[in-house]
């Protein structure tokens, strides 16, 4: 169990003193060293599923073997688990419980122990087909219910593949988790939106340190990874969560959910196709917010988060690359990363550095007492479409600062618009180039292309490059002093105007 190990050392004149050789002492030290985080003792060698009856052949049901393995792990106070290289362990169990239709089982789990280290060695853990997820009636048929719907007697959970609760050191490395949404029996909706029942690849709550690396998680009916620490604050000692080279794809809700953290590093990861978990047939599963990464401070603060060298590529439609808009979330750095889809980033201290962003910002944070807390977008490229990723913005505004408060900073950044408009009122723009290639088929005549009034503009250039096929309007306008912007108008017959389309303001008097 979590705690200190103690021992008795005898004095030189102790009658019970035993003389031992130098070699024996060194052997004893060697045996004690693995007690430090990161290794297991020879006496407590890594547990294997095969020792508890697992076959790992991809067809046998190995659930009972993992149940026995977890019990042994708990009994010894934690330790290491070693999966067999190339094995596929088929698992998953559900049973009725008091007040609930079906409760899923966490397959490999530990609680309140010093360490849980899972070395997957390239093996696959896969939920078996036929497990139920969603709402069902008493006959076991999918139940159609109007949301919100919280009747637990209809709820079916599949459960979590690997779960650590209150563990000192938790690590998972080098393998694949297949949540097998296509093999699940899908019921009706449950919760406040979508199907908010339980399935996840990895879950960690209350762990002092979490390391997850070189792991792939696919096809979850709900989430890929959930990490949280209830009640944690930035004033407490760091409880680091570190994810490196993790790939999560095709999940119904969130690839990664952070629900309480004061120190998180996400590096060289790929989270993609949130909101697009496959199901039998051609349909997919989705549940809001369907985000590649959801920073939702529901169990505690979410602070001091670094996302570096990571791809957040949302699923089809208006699903999200990143959500950070709930509770006391702040101080989030995203750098050298790719984001495709909506970015809901309405919290203090958010910074986007050297990122490629294809999507839209419906709101950012400004008006802070400390200007450094306002959102900063620096050295980025931003566009509202991306043929390479099949993305096209579906909202009329790609960046909307209405209601954000003044002082959002956009620095050394290029913005390209082919189907949307900008509302940058109150923003601070420095060394920004805006390429406007949106025609009257998207923005109606005599409407605004950009709202830049009340913004601070330094070295801002607007380039109008509307293709002839996009039908330049009789009049677009930009609300900003023309003298404050260097403009480059290359579209044939351009009618780009300043502050108003009205004739009194020099506008065009032709057909609307």
The CATH code of the domain that includes 90 is 2.160.20
Residue-wise pLDDT for 434-465, tens only, equals 999 887 778 877 788 899 989 999 999 999 88
Distance CA 197, CA 104 (A): 10
pLDDT of residue 327: 84
- 391 contact partners, CB below 8 Å, separation of at least 6: 314, 340, 341, 358, 359, 385
Residue 41 pLDDT: 47
Q: Give the side-chain half-sphere CA count within 13 A for 331.
A: 14
Q: How many CB atoms lie within 10 A of CB 273?
A: 22
| pLDDT over 60 (residue 27) | no
| Spatial distance between the Cα atoms of 323 and 316, rounded to a whole number of angstroms | 16
To the nearest 10°, report the CA torsion of 184, 187, 191, 193. Answer: 90
**What's the CA gap between 293 and 291, in Å, rounded?**
5
Q: Which of 377, 385, 351, 483 is nearest to 432 (CA)?
A: 377
Tokens of 473: 């309007």
The residue segments making up the domain with residue 238 are 79-505
CA atoms of 227 and 345, how far apart (whole Å) = 20
Per the CB < 8 A criterion, the answer to whether 122 and 86 are in contact is yes
For residue 6, being part of any structural domain is answered with no
If residue 414 lies in a helix (H) or strand (E), which one and from where to where?
A: strand 409-417
Is the distance from CB of 234 to CB of 303 less than 8 angstroms?
A: yes
Q: If you average pLDDT over residues 246-254, what whole number do you get?
A: 97
Quote the pLDDT of residue 400: 95
Among 21-30, 107-116, 289-298, 477-486, where is mean pLDDT lowest? Answer: 21-30
With beta carbons less than 8 A apart as the criterion, state whether 56 and 21 touch: no
* Phi, then psi, of 261 in degrees rounded to 5: -160, 150
**Average pLDDT estimate for 292-297:** 94
Residue 188 gets which letter from DSSP? B
- Confidence label for 273 from pLDDT (cuts 50, 70 and 90): very high
Residue 253 has pLDDT above 70, yes or no: yes
Residues 6+ apart with CB under 8 A from 150: 190, 191
Q: What are phi and psi of 26, to 5 degrees?
A: -60, -40
For residue 509, count other CB atoms closer than 10 A to its CB: 9
Closest to 201 in 3D by CA, of 152, 265, 253: 253
pLDDT confidence band for 26 (50 / 70 / 90): very low
Band of the pLDDT at 319, cuts 50, 70, 90? confident
Q: Specify the DSSP class assigned to residue 236.
A: S
Q: Give the Cα separation of 478 and 494 in Å (integer).
A: 13
42 found inside a domain: no
Residue 41 makes CB contacts below 8 A (sequence gap 6+) with 31, 32, 34, 35
pTM of the model: 0.89
The answer to whether residue 21 sits within a structural domain is no
Q: What is the pLDDT of residues 120-174, one digit of tens each?
A: 999 999 999 999 999 999 899 999 999 999 999 999 999 999 999 999 999 999 9
Q: How far apart are CA 282 and CA 153, in angstroms?
A: 29
Assign 490 a pLDDT band (cuts: 50, 70, 90). confident
Q: What is the mean pLDDT of the chain?
A: 88
Q: How do residues 178-198 score in pLDDT, each as one tens digit?
A: 999 999 999 999 999 999 999
Contact 130, 183 (CB under 8 A): yes
* Of 285, 283, 294, residue with least CA distance to 342: 294
In a domain, 37, yes or no: no
DSSP 136: B
End-to-end CA distance of the chain: 76
3-state SS track over 65-99 = HHHHHHHHHHHCCCEEEECCCCCEEEECCEEEECC
Distances in whole angstroms, Cα of residue 280 to Cα of each of 146, 237, 448? 23, 46, 46
Output the six-digit token pair for 361. Answer: 């910002």
Residue 489 has a pLDDT of 77
Predicted local distance difference test score (pLDDT) of residue 512: 33
Structural domain contains residue 119: yes
Element of type H or E holding 132: strand 132-135
Residues near 290 by Cβ (< 8 Å), separated by ≥ 6?
Answer: 252, 253, 254, 274, 275, 314, 315, 319, 320
Strand 132-135 relative to strand 155-156, pairing: antiparallel
Whether residue 413 lies inside any domain: the answer is: yes
Please name the residue ranges forming H helices in 290-410. none
CA distances from 207 to 4, 22, 74, 168, 248 (A): 17, 38, 15, 6, 21
| pLDDT tens by residue, 97-128 | 999 999 999 999 999 999 999 999 999 999 99
Q: Which residue has the tokens 């050789």?
A: 21
| pLDDT confidence tier of residue 281, bands split at 50, 70 and 90 | confident
Number of domains observed in the structure of the chain: 1
State how far the Cα of 251 lies from the Cα of 245, in Å rounded to an integer: 18
> Is the predicted pLDDT of residue 23 greater than 70, yes or no?
no
| Contact predicate 255/277, CB 8 Å | no
The answer to whether 449 and 465 have CB atoms below 8 angstroms apart is: no
More confident position, 363 or 242: 242
Which uninterrupted H or E stretch holds 24?
helix 22-32
Whether 236 maps to a domain, the answer reads: yes
The residues with which 241 forms a beta bridge, in sequence order, are 210, 264
**How many Å apart are CA 47 and CA 69, to the nearest integer?**
7
pLDDT of 339: 97
């Amino acid at each position: 169990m979590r705690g200190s190990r103690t021992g008795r050392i005898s004095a030189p004149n102790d009658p019970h003193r035993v003389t031992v050789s130098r070699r024996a002492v060194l052997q004893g030290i060697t045996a004690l060293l693995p007690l430090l985080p990161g290794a297991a003792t020879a006496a407590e060698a890594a547990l294997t599923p095969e020792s508890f009856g697992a076959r790992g052949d991809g067809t046998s049901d190995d659930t009972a073997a993992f149940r026995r393995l977890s019990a042994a792990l708990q009994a010894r106070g934690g330790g290491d688990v070693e999966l067999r290289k190339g094995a596929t362990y088929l698992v998953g169990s559900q049973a009725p419980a008091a007040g609930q239709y079906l409760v899923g089982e966490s397959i490999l789990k530990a609680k309140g122990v010093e360490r849980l280290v899972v070395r997957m060695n390239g093996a696959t853990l896969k939920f078996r087909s036929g497990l139920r997820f969603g709402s069902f009636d008493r006959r076991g048929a999918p139940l159609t219910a109007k949301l919100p719907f919280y009747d637990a007697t209809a709820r079916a959970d599949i459960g979590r593949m690997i779960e650590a609760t209150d563990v000192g050191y938790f690590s998972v490395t080098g393998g694949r988790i297949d949540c097998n949404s296509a093999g699940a029996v899908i019921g009706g909706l449950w919760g406040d939106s979508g199907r908010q029942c339980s399935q996840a690849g990895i879950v960690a709550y209350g762990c002092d340190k979490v390391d997850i690396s070189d792991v792939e998680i696919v096809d979850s009916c709900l989430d890929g990874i959930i990490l949280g620490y209830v009640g944690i604050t930035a004033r407490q000692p760091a409880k680091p969560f570190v994810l490196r080279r993790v790939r999560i794809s095709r999940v119904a809700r969130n690839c990664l959910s952070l629900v309480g953290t004061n120190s998180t590093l996400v590096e060289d990861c790929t989270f993609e196709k949130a909101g697009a978990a496959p199901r039998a047939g051609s349909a997919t599963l989705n549940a809001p917010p369907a985000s590649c990464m959801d920073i939702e401070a529901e169990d505690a603060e979410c602070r001091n988060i670094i996302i570096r060298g990571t791809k957040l590529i949302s699923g089809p439609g208006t699903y999200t690359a990143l959500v950070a808009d709930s509770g006391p979330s702040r101080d989030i750095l995203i750098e050298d990363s790719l984001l495709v889809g909506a970015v809901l980033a309405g919290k203090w201290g958010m910074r986007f550095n050297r990122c490629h962003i294809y999507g839209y910002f419906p709101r950012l944070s400004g008006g802070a007492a400390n200007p450094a807390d306002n959102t900063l977008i620096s050295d980025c490229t931003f566009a509202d479409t991306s043929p390479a990723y099949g993305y096209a913005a579906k909202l009329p505004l790609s960046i909307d600062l209405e209601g954000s408060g003044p002082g959002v900073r956009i620095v050394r950044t290029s913005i390209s618009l082919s189907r949307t408009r900008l509302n940058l009122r109150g923003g601070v723009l420095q060394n920004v180039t805006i390429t406007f290639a949106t025609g009257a088929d998207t923005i109606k005549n005599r409407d605004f292309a950009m709202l830049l009034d009340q913004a601070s503009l330094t070295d801002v250039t607007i380039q109008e490059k509307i293709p002839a096929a996009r039908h330049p309007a009789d009049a677009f306008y930009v609300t900003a002093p023309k003298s404050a912007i260097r403009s480059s108008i290359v579209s044939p017959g351009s009618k780009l105007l300043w502050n108003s389309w009205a004739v009194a303001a020099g506008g065009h008097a032709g057909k609307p």
